[in-house]
Each structure stands twice: as C-alpha cells, then as structure tokens.
Structure 1
Amino acid sequence: MPDRIPSPTPPTPDDRIRSREPLVFGGLPEAEGWALAPITPRDRVHFRVDRELPLDEFRRVLPDGVTVSYDQGDGLYRVDGACGSAAVLADWVKAWCTGQGITTVGLRAETGVRRRAPRDLPPEFLADLCRHYGPVSLKRLQRNMSTIRLHLPDPDDLGQQVFEWVLKAVAQYDETKSVPFGAFLATQLSKWVHDLGRNAHGRTAADTEHKQQKAIAAFMAEYQRRPSEKELAAYMGQSVATLRRNSQTVATLNGLRNLQSLDGAPDATEILLPDSSEAPDEIMGEAEQTLLSHALTAACAPDPAARPDQRAGQPNVLGWATWYLTTWGGQTKTQLSSDLNTSVRNMNVYADRVEKALKHRLAELAE
C-alpha cells in the first residue's frame, strides 16, 4: 500500500504577509521608487526669525550647493549644505540676517542629517503614494482624533495636514533600514500629533501637561485611584514645589483652551463706569484697562456664528497669549517666541485674527 501523501500545510498569516505583492505607485514597485531618490546625508542649520525672510533674495545669495526650505506652519527655516559645513553655514546665516536687521531665534547646526527631497521622486510615483497613504494615515489617526480636533477642527485643514505629514515622512524615510514605509509612517504620526499642541501652546506647557497626564494614568492603572499631590510628585520623581509649579502651567493651558467661558460682559451685562470728572485718573485707567482686557478675551473666544468644525469656532489660544503677554506681560514677540518655542510668524497669524475681531469690539465700546 503506498504511503499516504500528506496534505499541504495551510499558509499562516505571517506567510500571507510575506508573500503580499509589492505596492506599485506610478507604474513602479515601491522599492524601485525609493532607489531612484535615495536618502542622503547633509549638514543642516535650523532657525527662526523675528520677521519673515525675503526668501527669493536669500536664495540668490546662498553659497553654491546650499539650499533652503521653509516650513510655514512651524515658521522654521532649514539651510542644507555638504557634510562638514554646519558651523560655517551657521555663522553665514547669522551674519547675513544681522546685516538685514533680522534677529535669528533658536539657531542651531546639525551634522549628518539624512534626508531626501520629495521632489526628487518621480511625480507619478509620489502622487500615487500620497493617494494611497493619505487615507491610510487618516484611519490610523482615529485613535488620536480627540486631540487632533482641538487644533484642526476643520476637516479640510485635517486632510491637508495629513498629506503634509506623508510628505514629511517621505523626506525622512530611510529605505536602507529594512522597515516598510507604512510602518515608519505609522510610528511617526502619533509623534506629530503631539507636536500640534507644542506649536499651539508652546513646547514647555504641552510637554508638562503630557508628562503629568501619563503619570496620572500610570498611577491609576497601578492603584485604581487618582494620586494625591504628594504621591504624584513622588511618582514623577519631583518635589511637591516643582509639581505645584508645573500644575499651574497646566492649569493655565487648560484655562486658555476654555476662553469661551470667559466671554460675557459688554454684550450681556451693563458695566457702570465712574464719572471721569469725579473719579481719580487711577480708577479711570483701571476701568479702561479692564474694558480693553475683556475686549481682547472676547475677541479670542469662539465665534458663536461659526460651526464647531471651523477654525473660527474654536478659541484662539495662541492669539490671546501673544496679545496679552506683549501688552501686559512686558514681553516682546521674540522673547515670547522663544518661551513658547513657536515662530513669530505663527504667532502673527493667530494675532492677526485677534486684531480683526478686537477692532470690531473696540468700535462697539466707543459708540
């Protein structure tokens, strides 16, 4: 009797993953597309400025082989040159900006940065890759959507941001590491979501809040209750005084996010002012300052006529901080930019929205 022929072993999920056909973008398998524009090392100088650079003029005077890119969202300039040129480029950038009356903020040189320019990829390959990974990224980000909507309530803004993140991943993806691009993109997305809070509220405040929330969550998972102030300080390896100071930063951040709860008075409540002929100048000065402060807060509150998914339907936190701290806090925009780790340009974008609303509020008060 012949031996029984064993039935073939069904493929495991891992086998099916390994045997998956490669993705094809613009008629090219994904691996071939990356090979056409390999990632390369360079030296890079990062910096921000107190006012926008004249980019066309700046590019014309750059040394041969040096390029500059500008991240409008972060207000960050990046000057790239050959390996070994970081220190020279940093000195050159600082000298050129000084000659133009421009102040650099947070200038730093970095060596051996590995990047690719997305434009070096075949256009059809890049377009198909974005069309594929854009929806994939949106699905991956569903778990972070509550955080994202605090900063990007408009669906169109969210879609644009996702494609910007895909292009950012394209620039940073190192095909020599044997990690699929999709896996690399997924790991980066959650980091970039956290950066949204850093850009809107400042790196220090956002990171402090993130660390505290992680520590509280870890403590509750371990002990099934919220920690006391002393327990949380010990859990985070901090003194109670440091924890209290950081908690005040977090409380301020949360208060700024809820500007709509501060919007009230001139439209809803009658404010009685003393007769200027009988009241001392100090009282009138305080009354005028109070009205101006309220008008500023009201100008930063959400527009009740806007939909919640629109940018105008969200509190303008960075605009409020910019106006308040430069008006009453005694800080310049350059100092504030350094403290909040955001660009002056980014602050100006939010402050301009405040200015338009504030002019309308002050006109109403003057009538």
Structure 2
Amino acid sequence: MAKTLALRTGFSSLLFWSVISAAFIGPGTVTTCALAGSRFGLELLWALTFSAISTVVLQEAAARITLASGYSLGQIIALSYGVRSRAIGWFLFLAVAFGCAAYQAGNILGAVSGLSLLTNWPVHWLTPAVGLVGIALLWIGSTRWIAQFLGLVVFVMGIAFAYVAFSAAPSPAAFGRALVVPALPGDSLVLVIGLIGTTIVPYNLFLASGIGQGQSLPQMRWGIGLAVLIGGLISMAILVAGTLVTGEFSFGHIAQTLSDRLGGWAGRLFAFGLFAAGFTSCLTAPLAAAVTAQGLLGWSPGSASFRSVWLLVMAVGLTFGWLGIRPVPVIITAQAINGLLLPLVTVFLLRAVNHKQLLAARYRNSVRQNVAMLLVVAVTAFLGLRNLWLAFQ
C-alpha cells in the first residue's frame, strides 16, 4: 500500500508540475527547435541539454524559496529591496509581462496554425474560438485543475513528437555526441539564444514559485525534475524531426514534408502537436504574467487587477491572430527576447535564494548550487551580449 501511495503521489506531483513543461513547450519550441534541426542538423542539440539542466536548477531554486518562506519569488524580491521594491517590482513585472505577451502572440498563432492544418477551417473563425476557450478556462481560476489538464495534453503531444522523431532514425552516435559537444556554426547564435530562451523561459521562475505552495521539498523536486526531463526530451524530438525539413520553412511546409517522407500520419501528428503546444502555452503565458503580478505587486488571485493582466496578455495574442501576421518571425523574435531577459531575472533569483534573513540555512543555496546558477547567468549573458554586439556592428 505504501508503494502504491508513493507512486500515486509522485505521478500527481509530476502531473501538477507539468504546467512547467506546458509553459515552455509552445509554438516557440516547435518553431525554434524544428528550424534549428532544419538548418543545422543535430549541431545545436547541446543547447537543449544545457537548457534542460539549467531549467531544473533555476525552477528548483524558485520553488524552494516559496516552500521555505511561504513567500513567492516576487514577494521575496519586494522584501529584499525595501523602499526601492515598488520600482523594481514594476520594472520586473513589465519585463516579464512583455515576454509573456510576445510569447502569447506566437502561442495563439501556433495553436490556430496547427488547428487549421488539421481541419482546413478558416483562420478568422479559429482565432476567436481558441481565445474564448482559453479565457473560459482561465476564468475558472483553479491553478491545480489547469495544471493537471495541461499535463495530460503535454503527455499526448510528447508521444506524437517522439514517434515522428523516432521515424527520422538519427544515428545514435551522432545524437549522443551532439547532446554534449557544444558547437556554434555560422549564423546560429540567434537560434542558440532562442533554444535557451524557449526552454528556460524567464516567467516560468515566477510561475514555479507561485504554484509551489503546499508541496513538500521531495515532491517538488521529483515533480520539477521529471516534468523538465519530459519537456526537454520533447524539444529534442522536435529538433530531430526538423532535420527532415529542407527549403522553405513554414508550418504547412513542415507538415507536408513529414507527410511526404514518413506518411500522412506524420503530418497530422505534427499539426496536432503544434495545436497542443500553442493551446497549452496560451493558458500558461497569461497565467504566468498574472502570478508574477501577484508576487511583485501584491495583486490577489481573482481580483480585477489580477484578471486584467491575463486578459491583456490574451488580447495581445488574439490581436496578432486577427491581423494575420506570419507566425514564424514573431515566434523566433519572442524566443530571442526572452533569452536576453533571462540573465536579468536569474540575477534577482540568485540574490533571493541566498537571503539569510528570510531563508533558513538548509533552504539557502549551497556553494555548488551557487556555482551552477552563476554558470547559467554567465553563459546566457555572454550569448545575449554577443548577439547585441553583432546586431550593433
């Protein structure tokens, strides 16, 4: 009986924390990973390995803060900076909300594109339908119910992408080498930053901190570890599937290429995966922006201010959908923006998780954990600054 209960508890924790997988496996992941595979084969796979490990390190630290102190990451930041906290809180909230809005544009466009490929229904009808269903689910307001729903969809989506990737039959030796050997081929820097930005996702730090209350430390670590592992494997499967695509890069072309190479089922599975990725993320991006406002600005869940945040983020995505903007450039830009925001948010997290007045010694970072977080900051800052320098030149 004890083993049954432990297994049930572990699965429930994994299902709950799968909201993190759902948050970073959106159309941005599908687009960026498939584009990386299409242009560079397996060469950028190492960026996903780095991103997955970094995500576990950062998410665990953000959630540990809440379990130790009862405060979310945003509240810790507010308490840490005293009279300056209001200005810092607004600055961080606007930066994260901007990233969420950029993501949401890609989420709606991606979900509608996948649904259109599956049904051939007109986009101008599908866009408001996806938006209204998303608004209805968010209005219910139960984070745990939404998390469990998203977890189930992520599992189905993962099976779809894994099956397509397995059919691509990459060389095991080449795959294993690409996982751990860094490479930076020409013109790949924006995609590398995008792969990191679409996996670690700055707003997920606030989301993980905000939804982690009520769990034990082992439950939290188990849930985050497995959820991120599943998300990382799905991202890698998408990149492998992208190696089959050459020439023009669009969702329709990817689906057609997979259908031609592997059969009609592959194109339909890709379309379903794209829709599932977009739909799950179009719930998590607005929710993450609202949870961030809750922590940084003190807006309570269910309040008019809290709901106005996720409604505004949802409205941005719907506007892009109505305007008929091409999704791929928007999505790639969103990933790069979030990759540039990441070092900034991580520095605040690093300071918070070492706060001696608010966290007991057993909950503060060890030397090894600080080194790991500093490495994430250094790598992401270097890539981001190098990209800005190249753009300036």
Task: Please indicate the TM-score interval, normalised by the length of the shorter structure.
Answer: under 0.3
Task: Select the structure of larger CA radius of gyration.
Answer: 1
Provide the TM-score with structure 2 as the length reference.
0.20
Higher strand share: 1
Higher helix share: 2
Provide the TM-score with structure 1 as the length reference.
0.21
